[in-house]
A and B are shown apart, each in its own frame.
Chain A
Amino acid sequence: MNAPAAGLPSPRTRRILSIWLPAMAMDRWRQGASERRELDDKPLVLIADTAHGPRIEAANRAGAAAGARAGMMLADARTLCPEIITAPSDPAGDLAFLEKLAVWAMRWGPWSAMDAPDGLLVDVTAVPHLFGGEEGLLADVASAFARRELAMRCAIAPTAGAAWALSHYAAPGTILRGEEDAETRLGELPVAALRLDQDVITVLRRLGLKKLGELTTIGRDAIQRRFRNRKSPAANPLIRLDQILGRVPEPLLPVAPQQMPLVQRRLMEPIRHRQLLDQVVADLAEDMARELEGRGEGARRLELGLWRVDGEVTVRRLELAAATREAAHIVRLFAAKLDDIDAGFGIEMLRLRASWAEPLALDQADIEAAAENHGIALSALVDRLTVRLGPEAVSRPVPFASHIPERAQRWHKPLEPEPASQGQLAFHKRPLKLLDRAERIAVLYATPDGYPQRFRWRGEVHEVARVEGPERIAPEWWRERGATRLRDYYRIEDQRGRRYWVYRLGIVGDGRGGAPDWYLQGLCA
């Protein structure tokens, strides 16, 4: 199949609505209080304080007519128009306002993203028929923003980049259909429509490239050479061009409002004793379990905050191996974490928050009591062990693609799915246990390239009775330095039947060091 992936909308069929609010800061300031509307006819600017004095962030229509521009110093504007009125700007409030707008804009599509500082992107794929076509959708957008008295320009295109370019630099309400030739439609736009950094736009202007269409006339190779060191999309016109035309994907971060399950208890009387604290934690855990059950979720991470009377806040964090909403289990795990709590003059508020929750289907409790399985589940066991022994202590060996024995096994979290790996060839037997570090042994051999006849390990001499080998394992040149020596592994059995896995590091005359050393690495069953 040549189509990208079945089920996913291809770039051609996607529809993105870009909304640009050119005067958002000023519109928001104007709606802040009713008496501000009376200043519409007078020159007004929003200013921010900088190291060089106040600078204009936004100007209203009358102010712009008087000569004030965003980015200008206030002193310069005052010389042009002495009666200019000033008000402080509020960038943080603007951002919060934009985020609310993004959530509000989800009325036109299933998800929306902020395009800071003054734009919104809404995915309207397969939605326009609800508004009577895309023209109807744009008309609805225009009327909705007009009701809120926000100046706005919008456009719909198959990619976010194209929609952004059209909303900023084309006539308001432009629609670029999927079957149209995007390259020619967008060719007339200025290069600034590519969302590039100012210095890159300056470079392009100096090169004589003013319109998007001109970028393709000088050949892709030339631009590629000119910007070969620029990896960020905002600094490389070719990446931006490909994003506009849908040749490379452009990930967007949607604003999906989500609430964490949160329960809290404010206490009439501050508590100072462990017994009472345990009771409150148990109550909180039950509240949390109910909350999670209502949402069909289970908690993976829980944070318990304890507010003390004297202003100290203690936070205890808990991570669970599998999603759970068993109150008793949560209480038990927290009990181990509350041992070193200092209550001071008392704890007056407790709050339990599930900052990471996963869907967990409701399951039916056992019908008959006799069918109830006694004992705890594996995930609960892992949680208990992790809480007491630490997250590193509980692990599971998983294979890893490597020839070197100690590297061929890695330790992962116990309940994670096993990573995909190639099946291992069972030509050679491997030891049951591997020492943490291979231990050096002193060896007596008949020939330097042969197997050992006697060796000393941890102060005891072993006579070798039987040998199998060598199994030669070459160093992994793609991981290690070039001077690493190869290993010749032998499986040996001594006079009393003890079986070991030893290796010789290097061979005589390989030019990578002197006489090779011997190591004992594994113990066979």
Chain B
Amino acid sequence: MSQPDLASLPTTAFEDVATLAARRSARWRPGLASQQGKALHSEIFASSREAAGAGATLALALDDWRNVPRGEGEEADDRRAVLWVQTRDAARLGGRPYRAGLPKDLQARVIHVLAQKAEDALFAMEEGLRCRDLAFVIGEVAGNPKALDFTASRRLTLTAQKHGVPLFLLRVDAGRDLSSARMRWEITSAPSNAPEWNAQAPGDPAWKAELFRARSHAPGEWILGETAQGLVANKTREDTDRAVVNWTAGLQHRRTPRRA
């Protein structure tokens, strides 16, 4: 028999592994995709009065896209397209993407879909997740439409997992309803740092990001910023230890293997 019988191993072995894994993954941080792979389904809650949601979504998506480890023999630049799906309401409230303002990497790669209804947007997102020629999919849905219930979000999660295409679902002016998203963020704007040459001008964008629910991370709050080096995150509070320890303890408890 090549594989050891899992049930015969001592429980402590699993606990150690679980603790280690939990310690390592407890905190979200930029560049985490290099160890854990892409976050496949994230939801970002934002207001329609600002473009902070879209900006942070792009920053998070590009952070994952840059840091994800390359497979064997994948030397060529990833020039795949990006699908940006908007419902008509979301486009009316928050505007449409503007090419000159997009990140340089994305300017020539955005394919925009304008859906009349939330159902159409869900269809477009799901089809996009099935497409191997897409780097990631951004969906923008306004409010809490009936079509976007837990079943629909579970469907999106499974499709994203099956095909490995990340989905970033931007929820504009929405309440935190049930969802199966792996990471759920709440994003608002934060005052930017003063630029070096003109302290009166708005600087590089900064966002206050609250990760309020995540499957493999402890919740937390950060100030995200997009700089030339990439995404940077500064903690808003020094709340590292207790929250993580508590959360890890809970995880350990949950991960205790069931015996047959």
Residues of A whose CB lies within 8 Å of any CB of B are 373-378, 380-382, 384-385, 388-389, 392-399, 405, 408-409, 411, 414, 418, 424, 429-436, 457-458, 460, 465-468, 491-493, 496-499, 522-525
Q: Does B61 lie at the interface of the complex (its beta carbon under 8 Å from any beta carbon of A)?
A: no
Q: Report the minimal beta-carbon distance from B200 to chain A, rounded to whole angstroms.
A: 6
Q: Report the minimal beta-carbon distance from A345 to chain B, rounded to whole angstroms.
A: 34
Query: What chain B residues lie within 8 Å of A376 (beta carbons)?
Result: 127, 130-132
A-B contact pairs, 29 of them (CB 8 A): A373-B132, A374-B132, A375-B132, A376-B132, A377-B132, A378-B131, A381-B131, A389-B116, A393-B114, A393-B120, A394-B112, A396-B110, A397-B110, A397-B112, A405-B98, A409-B99, A414-B111, A429-B101, A432-B51, A433-B94, A467-B202, A468-B201, A496-B188, A498-B189, A523-B94, A524-B55, A524-B202, A525-B55, A525-B101
Whether the pair A377, B131 counts as a contact (CB closer than 8 A) is yes
Whether the pair A493, B130 counts as a contact (CB closer than 8 A) is no
Whether the pair A522, B124 counts as a contact (CB closer than 8 A) is no
Residue of B95, B130, B192, B208 contacting most chain A CB atoms (<10 Å) = B95
A-B pairs, 4 with minimum CB distance:
A525-B55, A375-B132, A523-B51, A468-B201
Q: Report the minimal beta-carbon distance from B5 to chain A, rounded to whole angstroms.
A: 30
Roughly how many angstroms separate A142 CA and B194 CA in the complex, as a whole number?
88
Query: What chain B residues lie within 8 Å of A389 (beta carbons)?
Result: 113-116, 120, 123-124
Q: Report the minimal beta-carbon distance from B160 to chain A, rounded to whole angstroms.
A: 11
Whether the pair A436, B96 counts as a contact (CB closer than 8 A) is yes
Query: What chain A residues lie within 8 Å of B200 (beta carbons)?
Result: 466-468
Roughly how many angstroms separate A431 CA and B49 CA in the complex, as a whole number?
14
Q: Does B92 lie at the interface of the complex (its beta carbon under 8 Å from any beta carbon of A)?
A: yes
Contacts A389-B113, A395-B112, A409-B99; A499 near B92 (Cβ below 8 A): no
Q: Does B21 lie at the interface of the complex (its beta carbon under 8 Å from any beta carbon of A)?
A: no
Whether the pair A522, B115 counts as a contact (CB closer than 8 A) is no
Contacts A393-B114, A465-B191, A525-B55; A432 near B108 (Cβ below 8 A): no
Roughly how many angstroms separate A140 CA and B119 CA in the complex, as a whole number?
69
Closest B residue to A500 by CB, please name it: B50
Contacts A433-B101, A436-B96; A499 near B134 (Cβ below 8 A): no
Contacts A394-B113, A458-B49, A525-B58; A434 near B98 (Cβ below 8 A): yes
Q: For window 163-215 of chain B, which residues contact chain A by CB distance below 8 Å?
A: 163, 165, 188-192, 194, 198, 200-202, 205-206, 208
Whether the pair B127, A393 counts as a contact (CB closer than 8 A) is no
Q: Report the minimal beta-carbon distance from A161 to chain B, rounded to whole angstroms.
A: 46
Roughly how many angstroms separate A498 CA and B58 CA in the complex, as a whole number?
17
Roughly how many angstroms separate A499 CA and B124 CA in the complex, as a whole number?
30
Query: What chain A residues lie within 8 Å of B130 (beta carbons)?
Result: 375-376, 381
B97 contacts which of A375, A432, A496 (Cβ < 8 Å)?
A: A432
Contacts A389-B124, A525-B54; A432 near B49 (Cβ below 8 A): no
Roughly how many angstroms separate A418 CA and B99 CA in the complex, as a whole number?
13
Roughly how many angstroms separate A497 CA and B206 CA in the complex, as a whole number?
8
Whether the pair B98, A397 counts as a contact (CB closer than 8 A) is yes
Query: What chain A residues lie within 8 Å of B52 (beta carbons)?
Result: 498, 525
Interface residues on B, range: 35 or more
Query: What chain A residues lie within 8 Å of B20 (beta carbons)?
Result: none
Q: Does B133 lie at the interface of the complex (its beta carbon under 8 Å from any beta carbon of A)?
A: yes
Whether the pair A433, B96 counts as a contact (CB closer than 8 A) is yes
Task: List 16 other contacts, CB 8 Å, given A381-B133, A409-B100.
Answer: A389-B113, A389-B123, A392-B114, A393-B113, A393-B120, A398-B99, A424-B100, A432-B102, A433-B96, A436-B92, A499-B189, A499-B192, A499-B202, A525-B51, A525-B52, A525-B55
Roughly how many angstroms separate A333 CA and B95 CA in the complex, as a whole number?
31
Query: What chain A residues lie within 8 Å of B51 (beta carbons)?
Result: 431-433, 499, 523-525
Roughly how many angstroms separate A491 CA and B201 CA in the complex, as a whole number?
8
Q: Does B32 lie at the interface of the complex (its beta carbon under 8 Å from any beta carbon of A)?
A: no
Q: Report the minimal beta-carbon distance from A426 to chain B, rounded to whole angstroms.
A: 8
Q: Report the minimal beta-carbon distance from B97 to chain A, rounded to whole angstroms.
A: 6
Residue of B51, B96, B113 contacting most chain A CB atoms (<10 Å) = B51
Residue of A374, A375, A382, A522 contacting most chain B CB atoms (<10 Å) = A375
Roughly how many angstroms separate A457 CA and B95 CA in the complex, as a whole number?
14
Query: What chain B residues lie within 8 Å of A468 (beta carbons)?
Result: 198, 200-202
Contact with A along B215-226 (1 / 0, CB 8 A): 000000000001
Whether the pair B131, A375 counts as a contact (CB closer than 8 A) is yes
Q: For window 216-248 of chain B, which residues contact chain A by CB distance below 8 Å?
A: 226
Roughly how many angstroms separate A468 CA and B200 CA in the complex, as a whole number?
7
Whether the pair B54, A397 counts as a contact (CB closer than 8 A) is no
Whether the pair A409, B131 counts as a contact (CB closer than 8 A) is no
Roughly how many angstroms separate A388 CA and B116 CA in the complex, as a whole number?
11
Roughly how many angstroms separate A21 CA and B113 CA in the complex, as a whole number?
58
Roughly how many angstroms separate A525 CA and B96 CA in the complex, as a whole number?
13
Q: Does B148 lie at the interface of the complex (its beta carbon under 8 Å from any beta carbon of A)?
A: no
Q: Report the minimal beta-carbon distance from A274 to chain B, rounded to whole angstroms.
A: 20
Query: What chain B residues lie within 8 Å of A460 (beta carbons)?
Result: 49
Whether the pair A499, B99 counts as a contact (CB closer than 8 A) is no
Whether the pair B99, A397 counts as a contact (CB closer than 8 A) is yes
Q: Does B128 lie at the interface of the complex (its beta carbon under 8 Å from any beta carbon of A)?
A: yes
